[in-house]
């Protein structure tokens, strides 16, 4: 089944007994898990909302194993209450205690799982900058952020070094989930196994060294850097980190949070390196190392660039709409980005040339009226003066997800649509009927 050279390398790392246990997992189905989105969950008892069994992921807060094939079609998935994530991929962010006011940079972020996991710990003072160089993959990530209702986020699309140089000595946490040879994903992605070679491993390692080097300049004194991959090769894991540490005496390898220790094995050369294997805990392969930059934090120079101001006319039209529609809002958060009106803390830096999206897209000013965007409903639906809350067994919920108008007795105007109290989307109430504004690309098929 395996390339003989790959077997030889894994035997060297795991030993004969460990390697046999690892191989035995390939006859089993890959486990699945999701994280509950704390931004939308509130006090909801998630276990009561699903008619299939949930089993807690022990090292990750609000995460559960599940076995259900149609999770992507579930209304609460549409509403962003849950994010499906490979359980091993939850390990790296679980190695550190994230403070609510952290400023975080996720360097190679798409589809956004680690960014979303990290941002779930932040309050209104923290923010995350998530970067993805691929123009196609950044669209996927932005869609996930929109669905999950993330507010304090900036999404960029550029080379890691370009972003990092604009934020030198700035971030409390930098995540480098580096592109790799994918050895940890062989069970889920057999094609990766067919294409494996030692030459590719070495090629990946060189690229990873460059990314880590570029990203490191953005870590503040006393700040942290997570380096992770979904592969097993020493060259791409311990080798990359040790090479970096040999040239950067201002960084040191530190111990991860205890919660991950029982579900990972020590890495090669240090128990501060952590390796996640499918025969140790349910999931695929993952490597993680937590580094800290020595020195004290200081106030970095203010980062230039930010969302632009609206014209007086645009601001009046926008604020009039929000006053009619929302319970409360902060006028200082209303900014302009590209052609859209966005809602973002003015203290959050937005590098104009490389930013794909930022904050919450509220909508567009068109001539003399305001056209709301789906993200306004998804991220701020609970602030709407007019809300309709549909239970999971209400047939109108399925109709709404199909893009159909639904009947609901409510005052005319813009309304947010909730699925079991979780913000899903929006619509416009007209004489007892809700005109559907759920995006066409998200609707379920008839």
Evaluated on CA atoms 306, 311, 316, 321, the torsion sign reads negative
Whole-angstrom Cα distance, residue 292 to residue 254? 7
* CATH tag, 4-293: 3.40.50.150
Q: Are 25 and 279 in contact (CB under 8 A)?
A: yes
Q: Cβ of 308: how many Cβ atoms within 10 Å?
A: 11
Q: Per residue of the chain (446 residues), what is the pLDDT tens digit? A: 788 999 999 999 999 999 999 999 999 999 999 999 999 988 778 888 999 999 999 999 999 999 999 999 999 999 999 999 999 999 999 999 999 999 999 999 999 999 999 999 998 889 999 999 999 999 999 999 999 999 999 999 999 999 999 999 999 999 999 999 999 999 998 888 888 999 999 999 999 999 999 999 999 999 999 999 999 999 999 999 999 999 999 999 999 999 999 999 999 999 999 999 999 999 999 999 999 999 887 655 556 566 789 999 999 999 999 999 999 999 999 999 999 999 999 999 999 899 999 999 999 999 899 999 999 999 999 999 999 999 999 999 999 999 999 999 999 999 999 999 999 999 999 999 999 999 999 999 86
DSSP secondary structure letter of residue 101: T
* Angle of the 198-216 helix axis to the 238-247 helix axis, nearest 10: 40
For the CA atoms of 196, 197, 198, 199, the dihedral, rounded to the nearest 10 degrees, stands at: -120
Show the CA angle centred on residue 137, arms to residues 242 and 83, nearest 5°: 85
Q: Please determine whether the domains at 4-293 and 386-446 fall in the same fold group of CATH.
A: no
Q: Name which of 122, 213, 171, 167 is nearest 355 in CA terms.
A: 167
Give yes or no: 204 in active site. no
Whole-angstrom Cα distance, residue 319 to residue 204? 50
Phi, psi of 259 (to 5 degrees): -60, -20
Name 61's Cβ contacts closer than 8 Å, sequence gap at least 6. Answer: none
Q: Name which of 362, 357, 389, 387 is nearest 376 in CA terms.
A: 362
- pLDDT in the model for residue 191: 82
Whole-angstrom Cα distance, residue 30 to residue 206? 30
Which pair of tokens denotes residue 337? Answer: 């980005």
Regarding beta strands 103-106 and 127-131, do their DSSP bridges make them parallel or antiparallel, or are they unpaired?
Answer: parallel
Helix or strand or coil: residue 270?
coil
3-state helix, strand, coil in the chain (%, to 5): 35, 25, 40
Whole-angstrom Cα distance, residue 81 to residue 64? 13
DSSP secondary structure letter of residue 226: E
For the chain, domain boundaries: 4-293, 302-383, 386-446
Q: Name which of 271, 276, 348, 268 is nearest 307 in CA terms.
A: 348
Of 60, 108, 230, 358, which one is the catalytic site residue?
230
User: Please, which contacts does 70-78 make with residues 24 or more away whose CB atoms are closer than 8 Å?
Assistant: 71/32, 71/34, 73/444, 74/50, 75/392, 75/397, 75/398, 75/401, 75/419, 75/420, 75/424, 76/49, 76/50, 76/392, 76/419, 76/420, 76/422, 78/147, 78/401, 78/419, 78/424, 78/442, 78/444
Whole-angstrom Cα distance, residue 370 to residue 334? 13
Question: What spatial distance separates the first Cα and last Cα of the chain, rounded to whole Å?
Answer: 42
DSSP secondary structure letter of residue 134: -
- pLDDT in the model for residue 44: 77
Domain 386-446 has CATH 2.30.130.60: yes
């Amino acid at each position: 089944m395996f390339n003989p050279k790959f077997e030889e390398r894994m035997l060297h790392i795991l030993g004969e007994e460990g390697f046999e246990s690892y191989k035995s997992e390939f006859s089993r189905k890959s486990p699945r898990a999701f994280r509950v989105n704390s931004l939308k969950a509130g006090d909801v008892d998630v276990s009561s909302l699903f008619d299939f069994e949930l089993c807690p992921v022990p090292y990750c807060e609000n995460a559960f194993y599940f076995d259900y094939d149609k999770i992507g079609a579930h209304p609460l998935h549409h509403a962003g209450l849950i994010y499906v994530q490979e359980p091993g991929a939850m390990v790296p962010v679980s190695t550190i205690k994230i403070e609510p006011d952290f400023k975080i940079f996720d360097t190679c972020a798409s589809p956004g799982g680690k960014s979303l996991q990290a941002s779930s710990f932040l309050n209104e003072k923290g923010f995350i900058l998530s970067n993805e160089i691929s123009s196609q993959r950044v669209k996927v990530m932005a869609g996930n952020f929109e669905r999950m209702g993330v507010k304090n986020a900036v999404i960029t699309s550029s080379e890691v070094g370009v972003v990092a140089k604009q934020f030198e000595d700035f971030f409390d946490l930098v995540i480098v989930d580096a592109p790799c040879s994918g050895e940890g994903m062989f069970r889920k992605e057999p094609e990766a196994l067919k294409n494996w070679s030692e030459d590719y491993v070495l090629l990946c390692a060189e690229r990873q060294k460059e990314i880590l080097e570029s990203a490191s300049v953005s870590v503040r004194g006393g700040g942290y850097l997570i380096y992770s991959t979904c592969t097993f090769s020493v060259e791409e894991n311990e080798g990359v980190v040790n090479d970096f540490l040999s040239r950067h005496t201002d960084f040191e390898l530190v111990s991860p949070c205890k919660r991950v220790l029982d579900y990972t094995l020590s890495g090669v050369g240090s128990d501060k390196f952590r390796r996640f294997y499918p025969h140790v805990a349910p999931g695929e392969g993952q490597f993680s190392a937590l580094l800290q930059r020595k020195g004290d934090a200081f106030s970095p120079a203010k980062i230039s660039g930010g969302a632009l101001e609206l014209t007086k006319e645009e601001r009046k039209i926008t604020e009039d709409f929000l006053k009619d529609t929302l319970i409360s809002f902060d006028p200082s958060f209303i900014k302009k980005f590209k052609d859209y009106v966005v809602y973002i803390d003015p203290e959050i830096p937005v590098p104009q040339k490389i930013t794909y999206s930022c904050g919450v897209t509220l909508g567009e000013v068109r001539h003399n009226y305001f056209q709301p965007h789906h993200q306004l409903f998804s991220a701020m639906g609970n602030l709407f003066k007019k809300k309709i809350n549909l239970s999971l067994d209400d047939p109108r919920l399925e109709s709404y997800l199909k893009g159909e108008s639904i009947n609901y007795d409510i005052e005319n105007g813009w309304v947010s649509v909730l699925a079991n109290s979780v913000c899903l989307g929006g619509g416009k109430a007209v004489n007892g009927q809700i005109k559907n504004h759920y995006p066409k690309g998200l609707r379920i098929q008839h």
